A and B are shown apart, each in its own frame.
Chain A
């Protein structure tokens, strides 16, 4: 049972790495949002640097939603999912897909964040809490993406609609992520409640979303 989990994860990660288009699209979209923001704010550097954690978090969530379509894209054209579902639990497969997208897409995106922090004049002292908050918040987002991917499996052009459906689910992560990232701005250095709540959201996502996505997949495979 467990080896299937590792192999699904490993082959997905390798697919993302051998075919770099998804990663490149997501990273470039991330950078372009960040580059565009100062133009919208009339180049006012104090406003930009004050709210840059919020901008980076919003850009991160939007870019993550771009992967929804790719999450199960190869399973639309093949029968791998049907065959895996004969032996392994779909919830487990969804779980490994979420981990794969986290490792192959969201982690590189977090590595890109220092660059966007420089572009938005983020004070260097705030970069560290921002990175930590992204690192802690992103697993929950990966599970939400997998849920969206499962929903968009049979609707080829529905992925944009599904992104709209998934965005509200990301709002709690966004709220607590920004809280955790801006702790040092407000000077509560010992207040880690934002991070703790992000961890709680991660646990909630791990506990609920793979089962939900697995059930959605089962229904979609039955109606295929």
Chain B
């Protein structure tokens, strides 16, 4: 199955300030795209925009399959094709790790996991001891790892991970790399924003600094 996510001439402005403009990019099935750039270059904005939380001003984002299925970003179905992990964790503080997995499965209409499966998933992320601990006793790295476990449970075409490596120790980094390889083998498209691009097994890089710079020259030309 080949699949293609194309970003064509997209501009995003937030509160009347242009973050980036005329962004062109294409990612194919199995790609791990590393989104890099300085602080404030628009990494989070790009990912939130790709997952449909933010509108964009012009251009087009679409996902096409070789089966002929073609989904546009503006389509209400778009949310069914993306998995998103933001800079905060999607965890309920008063519930345990296992319960959070159950909640996630219900929200995403995934088949319920048996306790052995949950155990195995938590074991992979080295969270076995914390399986019955409420989340507010977790350290920030443990919360991040649990969030990655939750994301790994979904089966979608596009994964958007916003700085998943913050707060992770070396063991957590290894888990993340493992997860990324699995996703790549599943032939999904992964966008991952990070400041440590060396530790990510990516095969494409999208540097937003270059996009912004291109935009700056573009602006200086327009008045003349």
Choose from A18, A78, A80, A87 the contact partner of B79 (Cβ within 8 Å). Answer: A87
B82 at the interface (CB under 8 A from A): yes
**A/B interface sample: 12 pairs, CB < 8 A:** A7-B103, A11-B95, A19-B94, A74-B93, A77-B93, A78-B91, A78-B93, A79-B85, A84-B107, A86-B79, A87-B79, A222-B55
CB-based contact A79/B94 at 8 Å:
no
B213 part of interface (Cβ distance < 8 Å): no
A85 with B103, Cβ < 8 A, contacts A11-B92, A77-B88, A80-B92 known: no
Chain B residues near A80 (CB, 8 Å)?
90-92
Q: In the complex, what residues of B have CB within 8 A of residue A11's CB?
A: 92, 95, 103
Cβ contact within 8 Å between A74 and B92: yes
Asked whether B53 lies within 8 Å of A78 as measured between CB atoms, the reply is no
Given A11-B92, A18-B94, A222-B55, decide whether A79 and B86 contact each other with a Cβ distance below 8 A. Answer: yes
Chain A interface category by residue count: 20 to 34
A24 to B54 CA separation, bound complex (whole angstroms): 38
Q: How many B residues touch the partner, as a band?
A: 20 to 34
With contacts A15-B92, A83-B90 known, what are 14 further pairs, Cβ within 8 A?
Answer: A11-B92, A18-B94, A77-B93, A79-B86, A79-B87, A79-B90, A80-B92, A86-B51, A86-B53, A86-B82, A87-B79, A87-B107, A222-B14, A222-B55
In the complex the two chains form, is B14's CB within 8 Å of A223's CB? yes
User: Which 8 residue pairs across A and B have the least CB separation, nearest first?
Assistant: A86-B79, A79-B86, A79-B90, A79-B88, A87-B79, A80-B90, A18-B94, A83-B90
B interface, over-half SS: loop
With contacts A4-B107, A83-B84 taken as known, whether A222 is within 8 angstroms of B90 at the C-beta atoms is: no
Q: Does A35 contact B (CB under 8 A)?
A: no
Closest to A7 in B: B106
B224 to chain A, nearest CB (A): 34
Look across to chain A and name the residue whose beta carbon is closest to the beta carbon of B93.
Answer: A74
Asked if A82 and B86 sit within 8 Å, CB to CB, the answer is yes
B201 within 8 A of A: no
Asked if A221 is at the interface (CB within 8 A of a chain B CB), the reply is yes
Which residues between 127 and 154 of chain B lie within 8 Å of chain A, taking CB atoms?
none
| Given A11-B103, A223-B14; A82-B92 close (CB under 8 Å) | no
A-B CB contacts (within 8 Å), total count = 64
A157: Cβ under 8 A from any B Cβ:
no
A19 to B15 CA separation, bound complex (whole angstroms): 37
Q: How far is the CB of B214 from chain A (nearest CB, A)?
A: 25
B218 interface residue per 8 A CB criterion: no
B148 to chain A minimum Cβ distance, whole angstroms, is 13
Q: Which of B161-180 contact A (CB under 8 A)?
A: none
Contact A82 B91 (CB under 8 A): no
Instruction: State the CA gap A84–B52 with chains docked (Å).
Output: 12
Complex CA–CA separation, A4 to B105 (angstroms): 11
- Taking CB atoms and an 8 Å cut-off, the chain A residues in 1-54 that contact chain B are 3-4, 7, 11, 14-15, 18-19
With a cutoff of 8 Å between Cβ atoms, the chain B residues found around residue A222 in the complex are: 14, 53-55
Q: How far is the CA of A209 from the CA of B72 in the complex (A)?
A: 30
Determine if B115 is an interface residue (Cβ-Cβ < 8 Å).
Answer: no
Q: Does B89 contact A (CB under 8 A)?
A: yes
On whether the beta carbons of B93 and A86 are closer than 8 Å, the reply is no
Give chain B residues whose Cβ lies under 8 Å from the Cβ of A4: 107
The interface residues of chain A lying within 8 Å CB-to-CB of B80 are: 87
Q: Does B217 contact A (CB under 8 A)?
A: no
Contact B91 A221 (CB under 8 A): no
How many Å lie between the Cα of A3 and that of B53 in the bound state?
22
Q: Which of A127-178 contact B (CB under 8 A)?
A: none
